[in-house]
Structure 1
Amino acid sequence: MSSALAMDQLTGMRVFATIVDKGGFAPAAAALGMSKTMVSKHLAAIEDRLGVRLLNRTTRKIGLTEIGAEYLRRCQEIIQLVDEADGRLLESHDRPRGLLRVNAPVTFSERHLAPSIAEYRRRHPEVQVDLVVNDRVIDLIEEGFDMAVRIGRLKDSTLVARRLAPAHMALVASPAYLAARGRPERPEDLAQHDCLIYAYSSERDEWRFADADGPRTVRVKGPVSSNNGMILMQAAIDGQGIVVLPTFIVGDALRDGRLVEILADYRPQDRAIYAVFPANRHLSPKVRSFVDFLVERFGGRPYWEP
């Protein structure tokens, strides 16, 4: 049976049940938003297809035939089942539920994303969150993720990106390191200092700054490199050198004085934090609700800013 034929039959069942419920063709037509002629055609189509008479008509009233009464009962059962199925499907699509698979960077997840999940699930208890953390860029579709959190300057892709928050970068060192080695006065001075290198950066040994005179690039080197921002922050706190890190990592250390910002007039190039997800006209409620939640939690001036 074609889907069009099935829809016609279901419509005919609704028309027949409405005629009986409303007690006539005219009130049924008004209730269904159809013409009286169209209501008559739907009923005639059912009777022709089945080869039976469902209603006895007079000029003053209508009445069910015996087979019409049986057919009405079956129609009402089918209509109820269809309406319940539609209602449950729409309800499931209207509220967040199911497994939400998220990929995100390690340090941002540990410090900010993981503590946020409890609040999100208090709002949406029917969502189960599978948070997988790593610092490599993965293929969301190939690896089965609903969305990812990414930090930096995004490359062109088929993914949809929504900006969650700024990722301000800060050049920092410990007071002990600066007391021993001196405070750099301009970016070029960094060539004479120990610099701590983030291994996954495309600019790992070339740090870029900007001031009123425009951008500038400085080549740096140092005793420690790592693919983990927390390790680099701890190395800086321990006096091992100078490091460029986002404030969502070093904000607390700046507030309590374990680190101090240097060259504040020469800002490292800032980045941003994004939620990315596959392009889809019908974005699922679980993804939409989680992205909206992250914008609410991290947007504007993020709480981690010193």
Structure 2
Amino acid sequence: MDRITSANVFVTIAERGSLAGAAEALDMSRAMVTRYLAEMEEWAGARLLHRTTRRLGLTAAGEVTLARCRELLALAGAIPAAGDAGAGEPRGLLRVACAQFLAQTALAEALAGFLRRYPRVTLDLQVDNRAVNLVEQRIDLAIRITNALEPNQIARKLGECRSMLCAAPAYLAAHGLPAAPQDLARHNCLAYSYFGKSVWELARAPEGGVAVPVGGNLTSNESMALLAAAVQGAGIALQPRFVVQPLVAAGQLVEVLPEWQVQALGMHAIYTSRQHMPPSLRALLDYLADWFTRRGAEF
């Protein structure tokens, strides 16, 4: 049997924690996964896995073999990358993940420009408001807006996403315009539900920063839903500036507390490894960094 495939199956079993999980991830039958595991153990000359009460675990030989299999797969992956480098043009499939509002308002335009420049690359855009597992979901690149990256994540900062407070004229006519950040606690604030209890952080010289706990009768895990509700007069929303500004210019929304600055969030491209990076992925990272830099005033 193919030893590279055997190594890939073994790595997937270790990452997913079960033969069934590996079979699902690789779109392979359970019997075939078992055969590849047996091939890998025969090649290694040792038992690589042992069972616990709930999941598979690695033996001592399995730990060593796992590290070597990952090195083998990285080297195998570098062979087509070398072909790309020789051809001088990025090519192949890249799977990209981001949140819905970012896909609709910015990334779709950026990716369209990238594909015009690199027509031999194919992109599969996965839109999901949850933070995806790059390994399990086979994502090459995830774009996230956050100030709380996990310690071991490999990321390249593309820029900053500046936000603003906004509300519809009808809401402000009915409930009044906040004069200070503390007034937000008395208003119906439309919060992003993934943040749990929402605290909006604002700053202004010379006062400095202030953190205001906010709440309201509508939360959502999707930013665009909160924006649409704000336009309809449901309450005050905290939204990316580049999304809100056209609506303010059109009179559909009004900026709230414009003299106060809302804490900016970093916009990051997250990927799995800096080593043996395919030319297509490196080209996409460089393109996005340049694209967001050129539009920095809008974000």
TM-score clears 0.5: yes
Task: Give the corresponding residue for 1:129.
Answer: 123
Counterpart pick for 2:145 among 147, 151, 154: 151
Task: Give the corresponding residue for 1:206.
Answer: 199
How many Å separate the matches in 2 of 1:153 and 1:122? 32
Counterpart pick for 1:106 among 92, 95, 100: 100
In the TM superposition, what whole-angstrom CA distance separates every residue of 1:274-301 from its partner, at most 9, and x where no partner exists?
1111222232111111111112222154
Compute the TM-score of the two structures, normalised by the length of structure 2: 0.68
Larger gyration radius, structure 1 or structure 2: 1
How many Å separate the matches in 2 of 1:216 and 1:132? 36
Structure 2: state its 5+ residue gaps.
1-78
Matched residue pairs, number? 220
How many Å separate the matches in 2 of 1:231 and 1:166? 22
Task: Give the corresponding residue for 1:182.
Answer: 176
What secondary structure, in the 3-state scheme, does the structure 2 residue paired with 1:264 have?
A: coil
Q: Which amino acid aligns with 2:217?
A: P
2:240 aligned with 1:275, yes or no? no
Counterpart pick for 1:289 among 280, 283, 286: 283
1:93 CA displacement: 6.8
Q: Residues 109 and 254 of structure 1: is their aligned pair in 2 closer, same or farther, counting only changes over 3 Å? A: same
1:157 CA displacement: 3.1
What secondary structure, in the 3-state scheme, does the structure 1 residue paired with 2:160 have?
A: strand
How many Å separate the matches in 2 of 1:154 and 1:147? 17
How many Å separate the matches in 2 of 1:301 and 1:260? 23
What secondary structure, in the 3-state scheme, does the structure 2 residue paired with 1:216 have?
A: strand
What secondary structure, in the 3-state scheme, does the structure 2 residue paired with 1:200 have?
A: helix
Q: Which amino acid aligns with 2:198?
A: D
Percent identity reads 36
Equivalent pair of 1:232/1:243 in contact (CA under 8 Å): yes
How many Å separate the matches in 1 of 2:229 and 2:237? 9
2:166 aligned with 1:168, yes or no? no
Equivalent pair of 1:158/1:279 in contact (CA under 8 Å): no
What secondary structure, in the 3-state scheme, does the structure 2 residue paired with 1:276 have?
A: strand
How many Å separate the matches in 2 of 1:90 and 1:195? 50
What secondary structure, in the 3-state scheme, does the structure 1 residue paired with 2:194 have?
A: coil
Q: Which amino acid aligns with 1:196?
A: L
What secondary structure, in the 3-state scheme, does the structure 1 residue paired with 2:138 have?
A: coil
RMSD, aligned α-carbons: 2.3
Q: Residues 90 and 208 of structure 1: is their aligned pair in 2 closer, same or farther, counting only changes over 3 Å? A: closer
2:186 aligned with 1:197, yes or no? no
Q: Which amino acid aligns with 1:211?
A: R
Equivalent pair of 2:158/2:292 in contact (CA under 8 Å): yes
In the TM superposition, what whole-angstrom CA distance separates every residue of 1:115-149 from its partner, at most 9, and x where no partner exists?
32222111111111011011111221222111110
How many Å separate the matches in 1 of 2:87 and 2:219? 47
2:229 aligned with 1:262, yes or no? no
Equivalent pair of 1:159/1:279 in contact (CA under 8 Å): no
Equivalent pair of 1:229/1:249 in contact (CA under 8 Å): no
Q: Which amino acid aligns with 2:209?
A: P
Compute the TM-score of the two structures, normalised by the length of structure 1: 0.66
Task: Give the corresponding residue for 1:229.
Answer: 223
Q: Residues 90 and 119 of structure 1: is their aligned pair in 2 closer, same or farther, counting only changes over 3 Å? A: closer
In the TM superposition, what whole-angstrom CA distance separates every residue of 1:146-191 from its partner, at most 9, and x where no partner exists?
1110101132333321121220010111112112211101011111
